[in-house]
């Protein structure tokens, strides 16, 4: 259970370490299902994307039942509710692999008033010398959040694509030149961070494996509702950018457009249809559809 002190820590600093959150039995299942998701994702990428060397995929599919239902487990759900409020909405369960040396400084979103968190669980030991997550404590808060654009390779916030994309306009600060908390991790450890928190990585080794679980805070007023809508639009633009980049890589490798494998959507038909008797997933699906993130019934 997340304590009141831990909730205060997250509110103040925009991240929270949760060491040993997954036990050995859960890790064994996660490892097996991660391999299934990675194998499927490898069929739809011709190359890893960008300087991060990243592939990512949705685990909300029938072939990965534990990861598909992880958002609903008491362990993650109650932690999210303690940090975001009792109406927190489970949004994404993803797999990721990184093979690049670094991830430049960035925030996943900069929309003011947006409340969210992402739980990340690395399946390999990582530290400062091997690609561990680095965060800037308190960087989710204004006005410092916007001032930190100076360390980014992007010219402005909330533009489509990854920081290393064609939108990049300057050098920014080297990752190790910025004073930051290095989130050393061993398998089973989990870190939560606000999507507005600035983060990066350095000294990464090939095929660093990570699972992520994302929640949005339920809007409490009109401004927060507008913030969620803005984030949903931003995520949609970024997804389109990554998809175009993936297709471009296939074509560069000699594939015909008709021969490029399709990428699955975030929410599989099985996940959307599997809410019977599960009050949390049913409520989330209703909210995701209202936001335009999930297809209509």
Asked if 2 and 86 touch (Cβ cutoff 8 Å), the reply is: no
8 A C-beta contact, residue 122 and residue 95: no
Angle at Cα 51 formed by Cα 45 and Cα 56, nearest 5°? 40
Look at residues 283, 292, 263 and name the one whose alpha carbon lies nearest to residue 86: 283
Encode burial over 23-43: b for 16+ CB neighbours within 10 A, e otherwise: eeebeeebeebbeebbebbee
**pLDDT tens sequence across 76-108:** 999 999 999 999 999 999 999 999 999 989 999
pTM (2 d.p.): 0.95
Residue 108 CA to residue 111 CA, distance in Å, equals 10
DSSP state at residue 28: H
pLDDT digits (tens, 9 = 90+) for 168-183: 556 788 999 999 999 9
pLDDT digit string, tens, across residues 145-157: 999 999 988 877 8
> How many CA atoms, within 13 angstroms, populate the side-chain half-sphere of residue 217?
21
Return the pLDDT at 264. 87
pLDDT score recorded for residue 166? 47
Low-confidence ranges of the chain (pLDDT < 50): 166-167
């Amino acid at each position: 259970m997340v304590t009141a002190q831990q909730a205060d820590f997250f509110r103040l600093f925009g991240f929270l370490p949760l060491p040993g959150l997954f036990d050995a039995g859960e890790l064994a299942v996660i490892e097996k299902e991660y391999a299934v998701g990675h194998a499927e994702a490898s069929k739809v990428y011709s190359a890893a994307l960008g300087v991060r060397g990243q592939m990512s995929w949705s685990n909300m599919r029938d072939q990965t039942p534990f990861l598909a239902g992880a958002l609903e487990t008491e362990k993650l759900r109650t932690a999210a509710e303690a940090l975001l409020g009792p109406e927190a909405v489970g949004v994404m369960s993803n797999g990721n692999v990184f093979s690049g040396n670094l991830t430049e400084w960035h925030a996943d979103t900069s929309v003011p008033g947006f409340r969210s968190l992402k739980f990340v669980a690395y399946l390999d030991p990582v530290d400062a010398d091997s690609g561990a997550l680095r965060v800037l404590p308190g960087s989710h808060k204004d006005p410092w959040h916007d001032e930190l654009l100076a360390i980014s390779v992007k010219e402005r916030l909330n533009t489509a694509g990854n920081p290393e994309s064609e939108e990049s306009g300057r050098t920014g600060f080297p990752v190790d030149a910025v004073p930051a908390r290095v989130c050393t991790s061993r398998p089973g450890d989990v870190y939560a961070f606000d999507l507005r928190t600035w983060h990066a990585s350095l000294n990464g080794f090939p095929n660093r494996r990570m699972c992520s679980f994302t929640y949005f805070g339920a809007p409490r007023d009109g401004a927060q509702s507008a913030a969620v809508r803005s984030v949903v639009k931003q995520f949609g633009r970024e997804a389109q950018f990554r998809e175009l980049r993936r297709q471009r890589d296939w074509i560069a490798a000699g594939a015909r457009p008709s021969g490029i494998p399709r990428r699955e959507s975030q929410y599989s038909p099985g996940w959307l249809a599997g809410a019977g008797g599960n009050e949390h997933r049913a409520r989330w699906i209703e909210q995701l559809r209202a936001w335009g993130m999930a297809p209509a019934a």
